[in-house]
Amino acid sequence: MAQISCLAYGATMAHGSAEMVDFGLGEYITQYPSERYPIYTRGNAGEVWPEVAYPLTITLTRIVGEEASALAAINAGVISRKDILEGPSCFGGVFAGYMYLNLSFGRMIAIRTPGTTIEKSDATYYGSEEQAPAYTPHKDDKNFLASIKLIRYGWKMLRTKEISCLQKDRELVQEWQERLPTILKATDQELVSSIREIMQPAMELFTNHLDITGQAGGAVQLLSTICEERLNDRSLALTLLGNLGDVDSAAPSFALWELGQMVAKNPTLTTTFDQGTSGLEKRLRQLEDCQDFMSQFDLFLEQFGSRGPNEWETACETWGTEPASVLVLIDRMRFADSNKSPSVRAEKLSHNREQALSDARSRLKGLGLWLFNKSFHASVLFSQARERSKTTIIDLIHVARLISRELAQRTASQRENGELIDLWFVLETELDEYIKNPTEFNTKISDRKNVRNELSKRIPPFIFEGDLPDPSTWPLREEQDLKKYPTLRVGDILEGFGGCPGIAEGTARIVKDPTNPGDLGPGDILVAPLTDPSWTPLFVPAEAVVVDVGGQMSHAVIVSRELGMPCVVAVTDATQIIKDGSQIRVNGSTGEVTLLSNPQE
């Protein structure tokens, strides 16, 4: 695979490499933006990497991301090596610590894809077209040969009956999971070698994930286009994709629902939870009446321990490394009404889907019916596979996380006031020296921590074109609440994109951290800045979900469709404009959020 880097990027690869750069706040990890593809977005990237990335993670995984992106795009035929001579920033990258995707590159792909438009591509993957600069044509964007190859690629996608790499990839991860106990007993240098070694299978898994994601997006776009042009209802595709079943991102919600019901039905558990979540796990393990619950809880951690906030970042805690965060979610889940059961919702959604599917087929004939059936099948197959391939990667990342944590604990113990997190402020090229003498890195680690802290206080631009604005000019998060946003009046409507059809009314609960859901409970509507799998359990007790950002392939949309709850994404600044306690109506078909009353009224 190393040959791919040389062939794809040539001598210009260093242009997009990640390095430490001083922004006036101090040095931190960054890349240089592409000149050929100048527009970058946090859309979708913000879901995967919401926080400031750590230097070790980026310098370890940069080549993995570059090679996987290049391989997936070249395999699809959408690009040639000529298109990515400028380097890895063609696909995206980390800028001043924040992860971005390259919107210009995505638009070029849309131009080359028959039947797709820039607007549809933006809405599907990024949810950022309202804020993005207008498309500026480039002489190399159109490529007839690439379009022909994409037609062939799309034809292959429509004819796919099974995706064989999923099982192979799962077996690869299982091999690493089985090796883990032995690796954790190895020497420091062997731990470093294992961390580096795991990057190769990670690249293979990520390549497959990107390939599947591209086909999932293509299939969903085709299905939506058929619904719009042949059936006069683009939102029908949302109903058709509701409750597909076997979607990994939704699986934790079903498991947590059962745990929540165990608490709700058991007086001892209920009393213990009522005493508060602080120290809850310790209290539960000491009570004999709670052992059945704890056995199921431990089984949940074993199965879903790799998931959690910012789960792509090995430096961050997950449900497995911080079980208390799961108990907080169960504490919200236990209050949900029985009619909010994911299984009950799924049954209703499945009925709606089958009814809509039957109706659509009755209105189509000939080639139109054939193409509809093929695109529907491909949408289901690749959407499920996309979530499965992502879960497989996350499980491998968790193996890397546990190896890194072992090394981090050892090296932290050798430094005065050393912390577990210190390891992630070291560059991959510095690892060998660091394990020999961790104390020599005291100043570097301290300085990098300070810079990351400063960057974390600031809100990076959602979209930027050309050079990244100086981080010192980014607005401070603490000032965000003081910023003047439009005042909503009763009847005012905020517009976004419909993610899952249906209409719901309820009390808006603004939640900005999944580990602190506040007063969110039955009958409420979750309003969040973005969502990753750690938010999923909070969907269950809610009536609907509204998200500041996100495309139609975003996590919030996929999970909402599985749980059968109205969802609207890309409602810009919803968490700031909508006041906590407001009564709102959410229309998941039209993408409209209507204010019914203010909290003080």
pLDDT tens digits for 134-180? 889 999 999 999 999 989 999 999 999 999 999 999 999 999 999 99
Q: Which of 488, 516, 521, 510 is nearest to 598 (CA)?
A: 488
Predicted confidence (pLDDT) at residue 349 exceeds the cutoff of 80? no
Q: Which of the two residues, 502 and 382, has the higher pLDDT score?
A: 382
Query: In 244-341, which ranges are continuous DSSP H helix?
Result: 251-265, 267-274, 280-286, 291-304, 324-333
Cα–Cα distances (Å) from 266 to 259, 276, 282, in that order, read 11, 16, 18
Is 210 within 8 Å of 202 (Cβ atoms)? no
515 φ, ψ to 5°? -85, -5
Cα–Cα distances (Å) from 270 to 47, 280, 469, 530, 600, in that order, read 33, 12, 51, 31, 33
Rounded to the nearest 10°, the torsion over CA 92, 96, 98, 104 is -30
Q: How confident is the model at residue 11 (pLDDT cuts 50, 70, 90)?
A: very low
Cα distance between residue 48 and residue 43, in whole Å:
10
Query: Tokens for 29?
Result: 């990890």
Q: Which of 413, 460, 399, 477 is nearest to 191 (CA)?
A: 399
Q: What residue has token string 């699809």?
A: 76
Q: What is the CA radius of gyration of the chain?
A: 24
Is 589 within 8 Å of 580 (Cβ atoms)? no
Query: Tokens for 500?
Result: 């899952």
Is 25 within 8 Å of 471 (Cβ atoms)? yes
Predicted confidence (pLDDT) at residue 497 exceeds the cutoff of 80? yes
Cα distance between residue 8 and residue 19, in whole Å:
20
Share of the chain above pLDDT 90, in %: 58
Q: Which residues are paired to 100 by β-bridges?
A: 93
Query: In 305-365, which ranges are continuous DSSP H helix?
Result: 324-333, 342-362
Which residue type occupies 133? P
Is 267 within 8 Å of 334 (Cβ atoms)? no
Size (the chain), residues: 601
Q: How confident is the model at residue 9 (pLDDT cuts 50, 70, 90)?
A: very low
Query: Tokens for 386?
Result: 């996309």
pLDDT in tens, 537-574: 788 888 899 998 877 777 778 888 888 889 998 898 89
pTM over 0.85: yes
pLDDT in tens, 530-543: 887 778 778 888 88
